């Protein structure tokens, strides 16, 4: 069952549920040299490595390891007796069902947990010796021979295809000797695509239990944060986000909280690993606060998802300002850029982000490859860190920082302020950021709204920051609220509209 390094014999798979006590997944690449997969997974092709789990033993080995093609296999041998005996008291007792089930034969949430633990470093996209490769989409093929898929092959297509995968989900017969019995709820799944390995692993971590529609461990309040941490950069924009969230969480209370937070994030969630520097090293020292008058005006918005309300509010402000050129700083995958490009009055539109992956997504969203030459001349995308001076930031009537500042370490904010308000110095700057006081209205939220947030300001803190920045760099500022307000806590999102003094 366990191939040796360099072997070209593929690990034989079974299509009959119940004739093995092992469950496995293979990851293959034809990137040359293909054996670089070992660096990305942090598992050497010449070794067989085992990892003890509370419910069994996981093994990583390479059935195939050549320059042309390399395949890594993750095999999980589940001990149903140990799993049943380790059951906590507050979980229901299914008696014989605790010992006789499909966990030893099919991929489940237990396998997803194992995948996340065994490939933990690969899942966050870290590879000191081959970081460029870890950041690059490579040709991948992932095969799971026995996967529970409630809803049949169509569900697998609906969930994986929007993420860029080519999907083959062959139904597995209940019994090949009796074809009239039809298909089981299991599929033989093969995913093929050019995807960053870290993205593939995080997607599998979330979506394997979604397809099974079952979790085999206790779910706590931190499940929402886990979901947002693993899916924050792709789930909000997924057409089946609600289906995925409901299946992943399975508990109504947590599902509602997750959907509310996803609706707020929309496509603005940063796509970088939370541990990675979102902005570069600061280039200036902190500036002491300076008092400045701040005008506060409410902004009433419709009962639509908060992310959409933010886009509507900022777009309306830009139109009221009468600007013709706009740069979206920290544009992410380009949701707001799309709104800007579709607005004829903006004759020049640019988007900048530190993540090349986000910029590729934005380019696809805007269909840059099919634009006419005249249309393409109007739009620009480029990579940049907001704490480094860059001449490309300058020359715009307005700049937008939508849900960006809270992702920057507080010690680095002075550098961002200097670059945006000082060096680039657009005629107007629009800043949105969460209102921390409103967090009490998110049931089950114990920390900040997104795992990548470095801080969240209350209304007084935001007003103080706006006043200091405006006075330091020669702007006036008006603060508005976005979203449905609460009497005691205000609006969920804060908006600062800075206009440069004449």
- Residue by residue, what is the 3-state secondary structure of 14-29? CCCCCCCCEEEEEEEE
482 pLDDT more than 50: yes
- Residue 118 in this model has a pLDDT that exceeds 50: yes
CATH 3.30.1610.20 fits 22-215, yes or no: yes
By mean pLDDT, which of 6-20, 187-201, 306-320, 410-424 is the weakest?
6-20
Highest mean pLDDT pick, 202-211, 281-290, 416-425:
416-425
Could you tell me which residues come within 8 angstroms of residue 397 by beta carbon, excluding any fewer than 6 positions away?
321, 323, 324, 325, 326, 426, 427, 428
pLDDT score at 252 = 54
Higher confidence at residue 367 or residue 272? 367
The least confident of 88-97, 146-155, 285-294 is: 285-294
Residue 424 has pLDDT above 80, yes or no: yes
80, with CB counted inside 10 A (0-12, 13-18, 19+), is middle
- pTM for the whole structure: 0.57
> Three-state DSSP class for 421?
helix
Could you give the angle at which helices 252-265 and 241-249 cross, rounded to 10 degrees? 150
Name the band, by pLDDT with cuts 50, 70 and 90, for residue 446: confident
Q: Please tell me the CATH code under which domain 295-500 is placed.
A: 3.40.50.150
pLDDT digits (tens, 9 = 90+) for 49-102: 999 877 778 899 999 999 999 999 999 887 655 555 554 444 444 444 444 444
Tell me where in the chain the CATH 3.30.1610.20 domain(s) lie: 22-215
Q: Which residue has the higher pLDDT, 291 or 245?
A: 245
Q: What is the pLDDT of residue 149?
A: 86
Percent of the chain with pLDDT over 70: 78
pLDDT of residue 147: 87
**Among all chains, which residue has been given the structure tokens 């804060």?**
494
Average pLDDT over residues 393-405: 96
Look up residue 486 and give its two tokens. Answer: 């609460």
As annotated, the residues of the chain forming the CATH 3.40.50.150 domain(s) are: 295-500
d(CA 190, CA 178): 25
């Amino acid at each position: 069952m366990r191939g040796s390094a360099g072997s070209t014999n593929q690990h034989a798979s079974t299509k009959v549920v119940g004739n093995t006590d092992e469950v496995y997944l293979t990851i293959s690449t034809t990137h040359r040299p293909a054996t670089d997969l070992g660096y990305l997974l942090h598992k050497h092709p010449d070794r067989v490595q085992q990892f003890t789990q509370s419910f069994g033993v996981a093994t990583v080995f390479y059935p195939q390891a050549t320059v042309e093609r390399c395949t890594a296999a993750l095999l999980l041998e589940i001990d149903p007796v140990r799993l049943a005996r380790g059951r906590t008291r507050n979980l229901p007792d299914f008696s014989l069902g605790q010992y006789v089930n499909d966990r030893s034969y099919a991929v489940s949430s237990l396998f997803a947990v194992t995948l996340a633990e065994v490939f933990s470093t690969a899942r966050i996209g870290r590879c000191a010796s081959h970081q460029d490769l870890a950041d690059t989409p490579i040709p991948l093929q992932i095969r799971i021979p026995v996967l529970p898929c409630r809803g049949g092959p169509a569900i697998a297509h609906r969930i994986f295809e929007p993420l860029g995968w080519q999907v083959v989900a062959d139904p597995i017969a209940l019994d090949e000797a009796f074809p009239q019995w039809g298909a089981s709820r299991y599929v033989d799944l093969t995913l093929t695509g050019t995807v960053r390995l870290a993205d593939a692993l995080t997607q599998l971590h979330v979506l394997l239990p979604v397809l099974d529609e079952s979790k085999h461990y206790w779910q706590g309040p931190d499940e929402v944060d886990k979901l947002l941490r693993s899916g924050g950069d792709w789930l909000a924009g997924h057409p089946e986000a609600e289906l995925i969230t409901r299946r992943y969480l399975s508990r109504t209370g947590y599902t509602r909280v997750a959907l509310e937070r996803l609706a707020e994030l929309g496509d603005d969630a940063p796509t970088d690993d939370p541990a990675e520097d979102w902005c570069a090293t600061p280039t200036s020292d902190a500036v002491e606060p300076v008092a400045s008058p701040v005008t506060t005006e409410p902004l009433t918005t419709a009962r639509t998802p908060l992310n959409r309300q933010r886009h509507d509010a900022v777009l309306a402000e830009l139109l009221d300002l009468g600007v013709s050129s706009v740069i979206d700083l920290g544009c992410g995958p380009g949701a707001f850029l799309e709104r800007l490009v579709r607005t004829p009055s903006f004759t020049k539109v640019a988007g900048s982000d530190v993540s090349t992956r986000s910029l590729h997504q934005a380019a696809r969203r805007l269909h840059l490859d099919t634009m006419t030459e005249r249309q393409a001349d109007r739009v620009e995308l480029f990579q940049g860190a907001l704490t480094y001076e860059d001449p490309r930031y300058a020359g715009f009537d307005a700049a937008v920082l939508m849900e960006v500042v809270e992702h920057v370490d507080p010690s680095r904010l002075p550098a961002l302020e200097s670059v945006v308000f000082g060096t680039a110095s657009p005629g107007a700057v629009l800043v949105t950021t969460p209102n921390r006081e409103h967090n009490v209205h998110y049931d089950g939220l114990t920390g900040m709204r997104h795992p990548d947030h470095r801080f969240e300001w209350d209304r007084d803190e935001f007003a103080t920051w706006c006043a200091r920045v405006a006075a330091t760099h020669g702007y006036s500022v008006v603060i508005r609220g976005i979203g449905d307000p609460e009497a005691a806590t205000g609006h969920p999102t804060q908006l600062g509209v800075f206009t440069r003094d004449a």
